[in-house]
């Protein structure tokens, strides 16, 4: 046991001898998880087109127009300064913006003036028509209530003139308030029903990214066990070690166990980050999670052991472990939902441990499964581990002989 612990400690010191290792152990996995989880929209995201609005009037009428735009299912108004809107439009960072100039007020409308609002749009934008119509609809809704109030004032004035302008304005404001109230209470004559059909692909960007990046960044170092084994051969430290009272089984146990323990620590850190920062429900089934993580780590370590008996040089082992880790992660659904792949590909990639590890983690987090629901995935991963460990140990002993 002391020899195994000594080998584990030696591998830990070697791996973390450079501070750069923390970049791959924790920093990059966290960065990629955050970028992919936040950069992918989900069904709860606001997908409306952004419309920058410059309100230079700052009047009740301009605020009412903004409130109507907020209700639009097409555009999402964002208020900003004129300088910012012009600069972002000039740099093509925004597709549209609208200017509500100074002087846009109810009083000027009552006097019969036309108050131009300016709408800017980039050329050749296919969404421009929908956005422009949404703006026109908001303005039409606002002006309808104003016209109703104006008509009420004119009718009242035809019956009995107002004593002064203040009384006339107060009557207009009350009529406008009632018109807005009636407008909001008016039932829709035409109803558009949107059927929310359930998505056949369960997907949550935060959960998928957290699980997918965990597998990607943990499996690649475990595949890198092959690099350790080949390096020991190349440097002839393995040959010298075999001259001591240390068996090949002790060497393999120490090497593999050390890497698996480091992988479990890395997994625990990434799971904790997912729970705290991204609110991923990793802790819903702790026993099932421990089973899946351990089985996945053993399967990846076993594959790395087997790979180490096949390659001839450490550079070859390093390149293969990275390439195979990336390819397996991609095909295993760690970067994109596996359901997006053709059915034939979905069946073929069942030969990869990353597929089953991803499936087990999503069963626990995304599909709210229990420990009973992941026995198949855990069993397959342990099967991978048993087969690759057997092949790896057999070839390793054959090489020593």
Give the pLDDT confidence of 267-279 residue by residue, as tens digits: 999 999 989 988 8
Share of the chain above pLDDT 90, in %: 19
d(CA 97, CA 107): 25
If you search the block for the tokens 């991204």, which residue do you land on? 278
Tokens of 260: 């698996």
Q: Which residues, including other chains, have CB under 8 Å from residue 252's CB and lie 6 or more apart?
A: 305, 392, 393, 396
Bridging pattern class, strands 118-121 and 96-100: antiparallel
pLDDT value of position 238: 66
Q: Which residues, including other chains, have CB under 8 Å from residue 169's CB and lie 6 or more apart?
A: 107
pTM of this prediction?
0.66
Q: How many CA atoms lie within 13 A of 140 on its CB side?
A: 7
d(CA 395, CA 233): 14
**For residue 133, pLDDT beyond 60:** yes
Give the pLDDT confidence of 88-120 residue by residue, as tens digits: 888 888 888 999 888 887 777 767 677 788 888
Q: Which residues, including other chains, have CB under 8 Å from residue 121's CB and lie 6 or more apart?
A: 95, 96, 128, 131, 132
Please answer whether residues 274 and 210 qualify as being in contact, where contact means their C-beta atoms are separated by less than 8 angstroms. yes
Please answer whether residues 329 and 212 qualify as being in contact, where contact means their C-beta atoms are separated by less than 8 angstroms. yes
**For residue 43, pLDDT beyond 60:** no
């Amino acid at each position: 046991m002391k020899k195994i612990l000594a080998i584990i400690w030696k591998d830990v010191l070697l791996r973390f001898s450079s501070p750069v290792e923390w970049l791959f152990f924790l920093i990059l996995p966290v960065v990629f998880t955050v970028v992919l989880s936040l950069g992918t929209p989900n069904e709860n995201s606001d997908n409306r087109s952004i419309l920058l609005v410059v309100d230079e009037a700052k009047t009740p009428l301009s605020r009412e127009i903004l409130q109507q735009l907020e209700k639009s299912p097409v555009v999402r108004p964002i208020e900003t300064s004129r300088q910012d809107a012009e600069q972002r439009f000039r740099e093509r960072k925004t597709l549209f913006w609208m200017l509500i100039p100074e002087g846009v007020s109810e009083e000027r409308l009552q006097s019969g003036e036309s108050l131009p609002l300016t709408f800017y749009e980039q050329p050749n934008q296919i969404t421009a028509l929908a956005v422009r119509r949404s703006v026109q609809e908001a303005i039409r809704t606002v002006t309808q209530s104003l016209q109703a109030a104006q008509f009420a004032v004119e009718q009242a004035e035809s019956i009995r003139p107002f004593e002064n302008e203040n009384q006339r304005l107060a009557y207009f404001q009350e009529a406008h308030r009632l018109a807005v109230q009636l407008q909001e209470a008016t039932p829709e004559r035409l109803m558009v029903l949107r059927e929310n059909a359930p998505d056949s692909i369960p997907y949550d960007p935060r959960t998928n990214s957290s699980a997918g990046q965990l597998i990607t960044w943990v499996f690649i170092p475990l595949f890198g066990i092959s690099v350790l084994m080949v390096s020991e051969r190349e440097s002839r430290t393995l040959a010298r070690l075999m001259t001591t009272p240390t068996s090949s089984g002790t060497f393999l146990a120490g090497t593999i166990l050390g890497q698996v323990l480091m992988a479990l620590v890395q997994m625990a850190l990434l799971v904790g980050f997912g729970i705290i920062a991204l609110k991923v429900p990793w802790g819903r089934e702790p026993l099932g999670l421990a089973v899946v993580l351990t089985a996945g780590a053993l399967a990846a370590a076993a594959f790395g052991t087997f790979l180490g008996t096949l390659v001839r040089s450490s550079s070859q082992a390093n390149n293969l472990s990275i390439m195979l880790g990336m390819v397996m992660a991609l095909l295993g659904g760690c970067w994109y939902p596996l359901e997006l792949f053709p059915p034939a590909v979905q069946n073929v990639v069942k030969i990869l441990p990353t597929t089953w590890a991803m499936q087990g983690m999503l069963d626990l987090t995304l599909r709210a499964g229990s420990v009973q629901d992941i026995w198949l995935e855990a069993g397959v991963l342990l099967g991978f581990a048993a087969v690759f460990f057997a092949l790896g140990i057999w070839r390793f002993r054959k090489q020593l002989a």
